[in-house]
Amino acid sequence: MPEWEAPAKVNLSLLVGARRDDGYHPIRSLVQTLEWLDRLRVEVADEDRLTVEGADLDPGPTNLVWVAADRLAAAVGRSRPRLDFRLEKEVAVAAGLGGGSADAAAALAAVAEIMGVEHELVARVAAEVGADVPLFLVGGTCWMEGRGERVHRYRPPLEGVAAAVVVPPFELPTPAVYEMWDRLDGPEGPVWNERDLPPVLRAEGPLRNDLYPAAAALRPELAEWRAELTRVWGVDVVMTGSGPALFALFPSEDEAVEAVAAAPSEARAGAAAAVRPRGVARQG
């Protein structure tokens, strides 16, 4: 059974614009995929099945794996075969790490291979499945714009560093964070200290996550977690996506491993992962 890697991502910067008439907020985000991976296996079967290991997720038709498979079949204009999906979750869920979107991108790539669908159509469908899904078809260091549907690689890419990621023991629903951001009149997030950025990113000017003030307003303990990690790690700590996952960059994976080990034990999840130069990818 072919296996597809579905990586986590972190937002190195996330600039948010005022809500548009269609209800969406335009973004401009610098994103990096990581070697923190879910694994998706799929084969043609006698009936549809989705087995999830490692997380308590609904395996029904609203799961993004099925949404991706069905949207692709609809775009092609023909029925898809029955599919047996087996998803091994490692990436923390509901944390701002894009795990569900990465799984959907892996499903798109896998079903496209089974059905013989061209990449151009897969990329178009990805934007319909979810805002982060197109990113994971590209991967590496990327700019995302619009709702996330416009993705292009950042040059030169980030290399030779690792991220330490810690997920505090609570969740922050993305719609609630954006609603709070609107209520706060669209605040800017704290700017990442330039000395804690790899040299290749320093030319980009201020990098920040504009959703952080809204997330911290919803869950004040988020600021406590960020302050504690900053103290323990000795570097600037940043929130990814709409949170609550927090991360920092380190010169080596060993240093990132040490950082995660030093995090408070109450964390819901944590991982040290090297930066990844690609998105979803087939193994075997």
Residue 192 DSSP label: P
The CA–CA distances, whole Å, from 30 to 120, 124, 177, 210 equal: 23, 21, 19, 13
Among the listed residues 103, 132, 210, 236, the single catalytic one is: 132
The CA–CA distances, whole Å, from 127 to 11, 92, 148 equal: 18, 23, 8
* 50 beta partners: 85
Active site residue 70: no
- Helix and strand counts by DSSP (H, E) for the chain: 9, 11
Q: Which among 35, 3, 43 is positioned nearest to 283, based on CA atoms? A: 3
Active site residue 89: no
Among the listed residues 9, 89, 210, 236, the single catalytic one is: 9
For strands 27-44 and 141-146, give the pairing.
Answer: antiparallel
Nearest-10 crossing angle of helices 64-76, 119-129: 130
The residue assigned the tokens 């911290």 is 216
Contacts of 120-127 with C-beta under 8 Å, sequence gap 24+, read: 121/72, 121/75, 121/76, 122/72, 124/75, 125/68, 125/71, 125/72, 125/75, 126/68
Distance CA 163, CA 94 (A): 18
Residues noted as catalytic = 9, 132
